[in-house]
Amino acid sequence: MQRIVLFLATNIAVLALVSILVKALGLEQYLATQGVGTNLTGLLIICGLFGFVGSFVSLLLSKTMAKMGTGTRIIKQPATADERWLVETVAELAKKADIGMPEVGIFPAQQSNAFATGWNKNSALVAVSEGLLQRFGRDEARAVLAHEIGHVANGDMVTLALIQGVVNTFVMFLARILGTIIDRVVFKNERGQGFGYFAIVMVLQLVLGVLASMIVMAFSRWREYRADAAGAKFATRGAMIAALQRLRAETEAHVPNQLPDTLTALGISSGWKQHASRLFMTHPPLEERIEALRRGV
């Protein structure tokens, strides 16, 4: 609950700060002199509500959506030695990380992967693929689980939702400001909100959304290094490196990622995927993660 309160407080603080800057810089007065009458503070609050509420709802539903999207089967009562080992290992690692016991599950995928999600560190879900359980040694699988527990302990899901909320807010805000100005200047619409305005806003939201996603992806890559470090701490550095090396071997073999696109950032590996640019990658290259662990970063 503390993380949710912090999440909401930070969002409100961001909106308040930007509202103060809008007033201090005299942006409303400037636009008024250009013939564009817009209540920037009101617009910012509306965009903030849409941006943050959507992100907040996604965070609250993250476990349910992850289970549905991956077909994850929750282990309520271990039926095999592997399931018993899995639950006991997650419990041990959760205790080390000082978090509540997560739900533990297995999802049907031949690719070696795992993910963690949940709205707070004491109500999380940690799941591994069938392929990982079949091919990874116990030490390597334990390191992967430690990596995922690291995500939970670091509060990465909440932080990612916060960043996404801020990004959503400013994409909508800037698209509408620029749309109003362009509609007035180019299409000569006196009110600044004609048909051209709506078309321009849609295009600008798409373009700005792509650019803003680079910020989200940068955080996603950075948090993988932190989770790797947690994996090395809660398991061992050697086991974490060995697990990443095995994942790299599958990537080099072009084993496809079987996680849904909406969950790729939550997995320990994005699998093999062609990227137009590193800026849009959810995970750093595995060789760089391995090297960071070797250097003790």
- Among 104-108, 233-237, 249-253, the minimum mean pLDDT is found in 249-253
Q: What is the pLDDT of residue 120?
A: 87
> 112 vs 126, 135, 261, CA distance in Å?
14, 8, 16
pLDDT at 15 over 80: no
- Overall average pLDDT of the 237-252 stretch: 92
Q: What is the pLDDT of residue 296?
A: 81
Q: Who wins on pLDDT, 41 or 5?
A: 41
pLDDT at 26 over 60: no
d(CA 28, CA 34): 10
Q: What is the pLDDT of residue 224?
A: 94
d(CA 287, CA 229): 15
Q: What is the pLDDT of residue 152?
A: 95
Q: Report which of 56, 286, 23, 279 is spatially closest to residue 166, judged by C-alpha positions.
A: 56
pLDDT more than 90, % of the chain? 41
- Overall average pLDDT of the 212-240 stretch: 94
Q: What is the pLDDT of residue 187?
A: 73
Domain count of the fold of the chain: 1
d(CA 137, CA 143): 10
- Overall average pLDDT of the 138-161 stretch: 94
Q: What is the rounded average pLDDT for all residues in the chain?
A: 83
Residue 113 and residue 266 in contact, taking contact as beta carbons nearer than 8 Å: no
Range of the domain at 59: 1-297
Q: Which residues are catalytically annotated?
A: 148
d(CA 161, CA 11): 11
d(CA 49, CA 12): 10
Q: What is the pLDDT of residue 267?
A: 73
- Overall average pLDDT of the 92-105 stretch: 97
Select the highest-mean-pLDDT range: 24-28, 113-117, 141-145.
141-145
- Overall average pLDDT of the 75-81 stretch: 95
Q: What is the pLDDT of residue 71?
A: 93
Q: What is the pLDDT of residue 3?
A: 47
Q: What is the pLDDT of residue 83?
A: 96
Q: What is the pLDDT of residue 134?
A: 92
pLDDT at 57 over 80: yes
pLDDT at 35 over 60: no
Q: What is the pLDDT of residue 2?
A: 45
- Overall average pLDDT of the 36-58 stretch: 75
Q: What is the pLDDT of residue 1?
A: 46
Q: What is the pLDDT of residue 81?
A: 95
Q: Who wins on pLDDT, 204 or 42?
A: 204
